[in-house]
A and B are shown apart, each in its own frame.
Chain A
Amino acid sequence: MSEQENIATTSAPTVEDYLNPLARPELKPDSMKDLHSFEASETHQEKLGFPGELVDDWHDVAIAKMGDLLTKYRGFRVYLDSCVKCGACTDKCHYFLGTGDPKNMPVARQDLLRSVYRRYFTTGGKYFPKLVGARDLTEDVLGEWYNYFHQCSQCRRCSVYCPYGIDTAEISMAAREIMDTVGKGQKYCNEIIGKVYDVGNNLGFPTPALKATLESFEEDLEDETGLEIKLPLDKKGADILLVTPSADFVAEPHIDGFLGYAKVFHAAGANWTLSSVASEAANFGMFIGSYENMRKVSLRIREAALELGVKRIVFGECGHAWRVAYSFLNTLAGPFDFLDPRYPVPQHICEYTWDLIQKGELKFDKSRNDEYRLTYHDSCNVARATRMGDTPGGQFEIPRNILKATCNYYFDMEEDTIKEATVCCGGGGGLLTDDLMDLRVKGASPRMTALQNVRKEHGVTHMAAICAICKSQFAKVMPKYDFEMDNILSVHQMVSNAILLEGAKDPDDDDDDDDDDWIPPTPPPRPPRGSAA
């Protein structure tokens, strides 16, 4: 399908009336059944240790792999057995809400696999398949798995609402792992993982280009602040290793967030560095449910930390990266007993910044962000699979606290679309690709509706986020919902705008007696940078 056919012609609803972001659609069976993202080529597959194309005995290999996963992942077995088909999850998935295709209801998506599990691994399915909804694994079923497990962003919203916590993300990861094992992988995810192995990051952004980009950012920072703020790369003996999504080097609004981290490090007098080996926070190994690939990618971070002799690891604004970092890094690449035990390993840049704000070490002029009436989008991986700080729920409070410390106008969207109930941006889990644009636009609908409501109610003009995928996804789909593509911002962009750095130049020298009130100069127009998608 060409990109033109894939882009939905969603006309933006008018802001006149309040719309329910979580309104249940009419069932539209099979409406998304032909959405098939490009499959990975032989090269992409083999780089990750998978067969280059569909193997001849794919059926037996698939069933064997399923059996293997059932012995290695408790969740996989328990979730497949425990579903009672109560329907509580059916109206919770943003892709179902946006498309109406019943196979996008979490339970129905799981059943695509559960029906095969029952057939081959349960007594009921072996002897009474029609009674218990069991079916054989056929080529059609495999195709259905491919199409629908690439319509799940693994956001875990369903797991909040299931009485047993059944997590469709786990089923989706297992399904993709099974498909990869028989040679049926997705181009987008697998190509990207290959780039990490070849070049070091998802974008295939090579070290010389990174070095040049950092130098150009240093010039921009000097123009802006009059200060020499360095962006070190591969600095041995630094205290802090910053691991950030590669999008932070090439896309808007990600870059503005990155410059914000740099200013925070500068204000704190921190001795920090980036790494060319670990020039990527993201870890697409998680999306494809491949423990081995996820581990291999994350070991680069350990390698970098050891080589550079750092004492702390801090992650930049990236959603699923923070999940891997917070929940899995210790498991996959630990133990980190060679790092400073006074600090959690790893930390989020928001934890780092908020810590400094609480200690009174950062000063802000909030009025510099007065042109923004802000809201905040909780990214799903951060919300439902991580923590920040010491208390559960810190991942909701800390980014909001930073925004409230740097902006005068902050408003939350409606309660049942934020925090643990947050609705996915629609582009996560390996779905941020143009061949899935139709799905991305529809899947964004609940979040966009909630944003339209808060625009109507509080005049909100912009939304901040701490996930590179969310930022790219929103930049692409917001225009379809009556917003501008630059209405999505980084949280540390707000920090960057408002932060008062000692010795920073004050361009307004005329009648202004108060040297503390530094007004930023109008930056020269920046040449457009490519999007990270």
Chain B
Amino acid sequence: MLTTIYAILFYVATLTFVGGIALRIKQYWSIPAPLKIATTPAPTTKRGVWFRMFKEVALFESLFKSNKWIWVFGMLFHAGLALVVLRHFRYFTDTTSLIWVWVNWIQPFGIYAGFAMLAGLGGLFVRRIVVARVRYISAPSDYLMLLMLILIGVSGLMMKFVSHTDIIAVKQFFRGLMVFEFHPLPADIPLLVHLTLVAILMIIFPFSKLLHAPGVFFSPSRNMVDNPREKRHIAAWAADLEK
């Protein structure tokens, strides 16, 4: 029964997550950016733009200029999350195969990454409550999002340190879902909390501010080449005005 519910939940979550983000990317792609509005100084070549975007996504360059506290907490959370997600590949892949052998090498870092994630999230949450300017701009969903991520992290770490789960069975469950075979899911509370919240996260992702993840790549102030004089830039609807 439990297995059935979570099987359906994860199919729905995966479809919504992947499909939703794909549709959103398609939408952003199809909307033109009719005017050259890169925030200058801006790169004058495409390669330069790639490099600028890389610095934003990997190093949070603008955020670093802006506010060191948010940068530290944001970096801890995102870097932690990245490592944790990569570490979790062990539950979905055959780690003996050559393509996935690297998943084994990440395992020791996963734990520290988990704590880093929580430290970052905790810092961001405290900031949102304590700093008047940030409190002013926060809606309930902003607090709830952080709390949800924190609970995911806490429940995950609990399974490592407090209450072990049969992770072999968990792996069999998920690997089974990928080929439409249904193996039983252990009925442990931390596991179920963890999985439920992750599913919810996946479902709300394409409807929430988490869209900043694909969004940043489409931000005209960051992804446009500064060459308006050298090359005429004109959107289809603007060109129509000239007809």
A residues near B (Cβ < 8 Å) are: 24, 27, 70-75, 77-79, 81-92, 102, 105, 107-108, 111, 122-124, 128, 130-133, 156, 159-167, 170, 291-292, 295, 326-328, 330-331, 334-335, 344-346, 383-387, 390-393, 395-396, 420
Contacts and interface: CB of A to CB of B under 8 A. Distances in A.
Interface string B35-47: 1110111111000
Interface stretch (B98-106, B110-118, B208-216): B208-216
B26 interface: no
B233 interface: yes
Contacts of B70: 86-88
Contacts, number: 210
Which among B63, B66, B211, B241 has the greatest number of chain A C-beta atoms within 10 A? B66
A83 B128 CA distance: 15
B39 A167 contact: yes
The 4 A-B pairs of least Cβ separation, nearest first, read: A133-B139, A165-B221, A82-B215, A161-B66
Nearest to B27: A77
Nearest to B208: A124
B82 to A, nearest CB: 16
A345 B232 CA distance: 11
B211 A82 contact: yes
B127 A160 contact: no
B28 to A, nearest CB: 6
A24 B62 CA distance: 19
A88 B66 contact: yes
B28 A74 contact: yes
Interface of B: 27-28, 31-37, 39-44, 56, 60, 62-63, 65-67, 70, 74, 124, 127-128, 131-134, 136-142, 144, 207-209, 211-212, 215-216, 218-222, 226, 228-230, 232-235, 237-238, 241
Contacts of B234: 331, 334
A91 B137 CA distance: 13
A384 B74 contact: no
B3 to A, nearest CB: 29
B40 A385 contact: yes
A330 B233 contact: yes
Nearest to B223: A165
Contacts of B229: 326, 330, 344-346
Contact of A81 (B32, B39, B211): B211
A78 B27 CA distance: 10
A90 B133 contact: yes
Nearest to A157: B39
Contacts of A74: 28, 31-33, 218, 220
Given A72-B31, A87-B137, A89-B66, A163 B216 contact: yes
Given A292-B241, A330-B233, A331-B233, A85 B39 contact: no
Contacts of A71: 31
Contact of B232 (A84, A132, A166, A330): A330
Which among A27, A85, A160 has the greatest number of chain B C-beta atoms within 10 A? A85
Nearest to B235: A72
A82 B233 contact: no
Given A27-B136, A87-B67, A131-B139, A165 B228 contact: no
Contact of A87 (B41, B131, B140, B228): B131
Contacts of B140: 130-133
Contacts of B67: 87-88, 161
Given A72-B32, A75-B33, A159 B221 contact: yes
Given A72-B31, A87-B70, A88-B63, A78 B40 contact: no
Contacts of A77: 27-28, 31
Given A326-B229, A327-B35, A165 B238 contact: no
B137 to A, nearest CB: 5
Contact of B37 (A27, A102, A327, A390): A327
A519 B30 CA distance: 63
Nearest to A419: B41
Nearest to A292: B241
B44 to A, nearest CB: 6
Contacts of A392: 40-44, 226
Contacts of A102: 133, 136
Contacts of A396: 41
Nearest to A382: B40
A130 B235 CA distance: 37
B221 A108 contact: no
A251 B161 CA distance: 74
Nearest to B61: A163
A83 B209 CA distance: 6
A331 B39 CA distance: 17
Given A165-B222, A335-B232, A387 B216 contact: no
A107 B226 CA distance: 26
A131 B41 CA distance: 38
24 contacts: A71-B31, A72-B32, A75-B220, A75-B221, A82-B211, A83-B212, A85-B138, A91-B133, A107-B137, A123-B207, A131-B139, A131-B141, A132-B141, A160-B65, A163-B60, A166-B221, A167-B39, A291-B34, A291-B238, A328-B36, A331-B36, A331-B232, A334-B234, A385-B37
